[in-house]
Amino acid sequence: MKSYTISKSRFAISGAISVAVAALTFTLIHDIFISDIWFSLALMLVAGGLCGACLGWSFSIMVRSSSLKSWLAYNLIYDTMFLVLALVSLLVFSPTMPMAALMALNGPPDDLIAQALPVTVIFTVIMAVAISAIYGFGWSRLGASLLTSLVLVLLLGLNVSVIGLVSIPRGSWYLVAEMLGLILMLDLAYAAVFVVLERTSLLNGTLDQQRNLV
C-alpha cells in the first residue's frame, strides 16, 4: 500500500512540474504567433500546476497498467473533452454576442460564462462519469475523474463553453480552431515532459506492479 501511495503523489508532482515547461512553450508560441502574454505567466503556472497535478494524480488512479500508450490515451481523452464541449455549446446555444463585441472585451466574457454555466456543469459531470466508466467504474475513479474534469473545465474550458453564444463570421472560425489548437499544443508539451520525468514508470508498468502488491 505504501508504494502505491508514493506513486500517486509522485505522479501528481511530476504533473505539476511538467506544466512549467509546457506553460513556457505555450507563452512563447502565443507571443510569436498571436500576442505577448508573458505578463500572465505566473498565473498560468499556478492554474496549469493544478491541471497538471490533477491529470498525473488521476492517471495513477484510473489506469490498471502505466505505459506510454495509456498515458497518451489518457491525455487524448481530456483533449477530446474540450472538442466535445465546443460542439455541445454550438448545439445547445444560440448566439447572443457579436464576435466584434467579444474581441473588444478587456477580460473574460463573464456574462456569457454565467449564461453557459448550467450546461457546462452538467456536461462536466456527464464527462466525468463517462471517463470513469471507460476505465472501469468505481467511486475512487469517479471522484478522480470528476475533480480532474472540473479543474480542467474551470481553468481551461470556460471560453470553450461559450462558443455557441458568440456570432462568429465565417472568416473568423480560425480563431476557434486556434484556441482549441493551443489547448492541444499545451497538453502535448505537458504530456511529453511528463513522459521524460516518469519514463521508468511508464515503460515498466510500475503502477500495475504496485497494485498487485496491495
* pLDDT over threshold 70, residue 3: no
117, 125 in Cβ contact below 8 A? no
Please give the pLDDT value at position 19.
82
Average pLDDT over residues 10-33: 82
Phi/psi at 205 (nearest 5 deg)? 65, 45
Q: Which of 16-30, 45-59, 150-164, 179-193 has the lowest mean pLDDT?
A: 16-30
Q: What integer best gives the mean pLDDT of the chain? A: 85
Between CA 191 and CA 126 the distance in angstroms is 24
Quick one: pLDDT band at residue 5, thresholds 50, 70, 90?
Answer: very low
- Residue in the structure block whose three cell numbers are 466584434: 100
Closest Cα partner for 123 from 166, 83, 95, 96?
83
State the pLDDT at residue 205: 61
pLDDT digits (tens, 9 = 90+) for 31-51: 777 777 777 778 888 888 899
* Residue corresponding to grid cell 502565443: 30
Residue 33: count of CB within 10 angstroms of its CB: 9
Q: What is the pLDDT of residue 112?
A: 94
The answer to whether 89 and 54 have CB atoms below 8 angstroms apart is no
pLDDT of residue 212: 40
Contacts made by residues 181-187, CB under 8 angstroms, sequence distance 24+:
182/26, 182/29, 182/30, 183/79, 183/82, 183/156, 184/79, 185/25, 185/26, 185/29, 186/22, 186/23, 186/25, 186/26, 186/48, 187/22, 187/75, 187/78, 187/79
Nearest alpha-carbon partner for 66 in 214, 193, 212, 200: 200
pLDDT confidence bin for 146, thresholds 50/70/90? very high
More confident residue, 108 or 7: 108
The position carrying cell 456536461 is 123
Task: Write down the residue that cell numbers 505505459 correspond to.
Answer: 67
Q: Which pLDDT score is estimated for 133? A: 94
Sequence letter at residue 120: T
- The pLDDT tens digits for 65-106 are 788 899 999 999 999 999 999 999 999 999 999 988 888 887
